[in-house]
Amino acid sequence: MAEKRDKTYILYNIKSPEDIRKLDIPSLEKLAEEIREFLIERVSVTGGHLASNLGVVELTLALHKVFRTPRDKIIWDVGHQSYVHKIITGRRDRFETLRQFGGISGFPKSAESEYDSFDTGHSSTSVSAALGYARARDILNEDYSVVAVIGDGAMTGGMAFEALNDVGRSPNNMIIILNDNGMSISKNVGGFSKYLSKIRTQPLYYKAREDLDTFLQRLPAIGEKAARMLDRAKGTIKYMVMPGMIFEELGIKYLGPIDGHNIAELTKVLSNAKGMRGPVLIHIMTQKGKGYGVAENKPQEFHSISPFEIETGEVKVNNGPSYSDIFGQRLAELAAIDPGLVAITAAMPLGTGLDKFSQLYPDRFFDVGIAEQHAVTFAAGLARAGLKPVVAVYSTFLQRSYDQIMHDTALQDLHVVFAIDRAGLVGEDGETHQGLYDLSYLNHIPNMTIAAPADYHEFIQMLDYGILHHKGPFAIRYPRGTGKEILGQPVDVEHGRGVRILEGEDVTIAAIGKMVETAMQAAELLAEKGIHAEVINARFAKPLDEQLILDSAAKTRALVTLEDNCIRGGFGSSILELLNANSLLIKTKVFGFPDRPIPHGSRDELYKEYGLTPDTIAEETVRFLRSS
């Protein structure tokens, strides 16, 4: 949508939600079309979460039509569907900076706008946060509405059920929008998904309940006994038309299902719910990718998409197989070797590369939905029973299951393999998705082994070792996207053993995972300055190859560590503890990410911003060596 169309497009006259509230339904419907066109054009350039946003255009407009934001609070679960919200809350002119370094975030950020009521990025949090808002409002005697928007995929998360259980006994007014598109990132699975499917196919329930309410209200005064009988009759009709009405049984009024692309119907129902007492859940049905045929047909691929060609939907740049692809391919090959190998994912078979495995071994593949905690303890049960479970999960989501890793897996020393995708920087998704903490939060867990490959060959070797030969919990972390073959002739993987890949006498550079390549490049730059660095590929963050590191550090008398992890409690910290334990006084400098949230931006920009490029590391190492 070109800027020259300003005069004819409603969108370019929308400066804030106040302008939305002035529009009639036909104008809002036209605006919805314009927003879809705008989204497709802009996201095709920047990349981002497209399908989910195309599905909530009408809902977003209806919410801002009915509710007086920012006084009223809208809390988006996960938040990857908040682009439309951002466009109409004063950020349209900056939308070309979406997910770019220094630009607007792809998720709600309260520091970015007063219209963003709560920072989100992980799923299943909105109902809890909304209830907190509602109770605080009532304690403080304030007057505003609170709305949580949660998808059917996020509703499978245990935290959402915990929150619903609390909401149901609450007298506080709040509204929960259940956005039901039959998808999370991949197709939804499990009993709750089947339950929602049943509701979708029996929409007569809501009308039947309304008719019964009207009938009861028109009856003249009757005795208490008759009233109880009629109330039971009301419940009986409800169960005949819609068995197992879980929300109402919890104490939450249920409205729906509603067509989520009908603005007139949405505004009517939202207005009615706004005046109801106590918690209300509105069940709306939407289509992921609505209005863009390619995304409608491939909602998984367009959940989060790189820059693409609008006409075909093809991604503009394809750099070859990713670590996720290599993982999925090798795991399928190992499954043919070992019949005890099983794979688990938390609603991300495509994102983690397990789609091929799921097709080849459907009886040995388990998608548990957005439930990382359950995934880990489920894997522990499988391991206890004699299988070899592999849990494939993004680093940022694995941290949600910390207690299950510790309590249910590590303390029993069970052989569960954690395939940790998107470790290190993920880039454009920003603070909530950076995988910069797994080395730290896994490092102090007893019995845990942590490995990180420097390239594809080493990755395959480590998978083979961790699955076929290791005993006990085994974590292998690997970065987003593609990698290089940098090590030459592969060296067999041995538990806790690193590899010296370059001899030197002036300084030791100990690196792990993706940062090994950076260490090699920095060593080349140092050599140009007459400084000969010894480079160690640690391979294992836990246990460290203590003798290799101590011998090298004693020789060079200077040590630099590199990791794509927070420096607090990570790889470098472990080496400092090692030196201290051995009373070895060595000049040491730790390179990694600082102890603060790392924003969104391209990975190249972020490595440069935080001094983790080969050039900067070489310069800082020279300065470090020359210091007293």
Contact 16, 247 (CB under 8 A): no
Tokens of 205: 């329930």
Residue pair 427/604 in contact (Cβ under 8 Å)? The answer is no
In contact, 561 and 511? CB cutoff 8 Å: yes
Q: How far apart are CA 22 and CA 61, in angstroms?
A: 12
In angstroms and rounded to an integer, the radius of gyration of the C-alpha atoms of the chain is 27
Q: State the CB neighbour count (10 A cutoff) for residue 114.
A: 11
B/e letters for 56-81, b = 16+ CB within 10 Å, e = fewer, are: bbbbbbbbbbbbebbebbbbbbbbbb
CA distance between the termini of the chain: 60
Could you give the residue numbers annotated as active site? 288, 372, 400
Question: Which residue in the block uniquely carries the two structure tokens 């940790």?
Answer: 420
For the chain, the farthest-separated pair of C-alpha atoms sits apart, in whole angstroms, at 99
**Across-strand partners of 451?**
476, 540
523: which 2 tokens? Answer: 């060593």
- 174-209 burial, b if ≥16 CB within 10 A, otherwise e? bbbbbbbbbbbbbebbeebbebbeebeeebebbebb
Q: Which two tokens stand for residue 496?
A: 């806790």
The helix (run of H) or strand (run of E) holding residue 325 is helix 323-337
Per DSSP, the three-state class of 563 is strand
- How many CA atoms lie less than 13 Å away from 342 in the CB half-sphere? 23
| Strands ordered across the beta sheet of 279-285 | 73-76, 146-151, 174-180, 279-285, 253-259
Helix H or strand E encompassing 397: helix 395-398
Residues 611 and 588: their CA atoms lie apart, in Å, by: 17
Cα–Cα distance for residue pair 468/63, rounded to 1 Å: 53
8 Å CB contact between 420 and 98: no
Q: How far apart are CA 185 and CA 346, in angstroms?
A: 10
Residue 242 is classified by DSSP as: S
Tokens at 367, concatenated:
């998608």
Instruction: Tell me the sheet residues that pair with 8.
Output: none
Q: Which of 446, 434, 356 is nearest to 399 (CA)?
A: 434
> How far are the Cα atoms of 421, 457, 470, 480 from residue 354, in angstroms, in the given order?
12, 19, 22, 15
Distance (Å, whole) CA 445 – CA 440 = 10
CB half-sphere exposure, 492, CA atoms < 13 A: 3
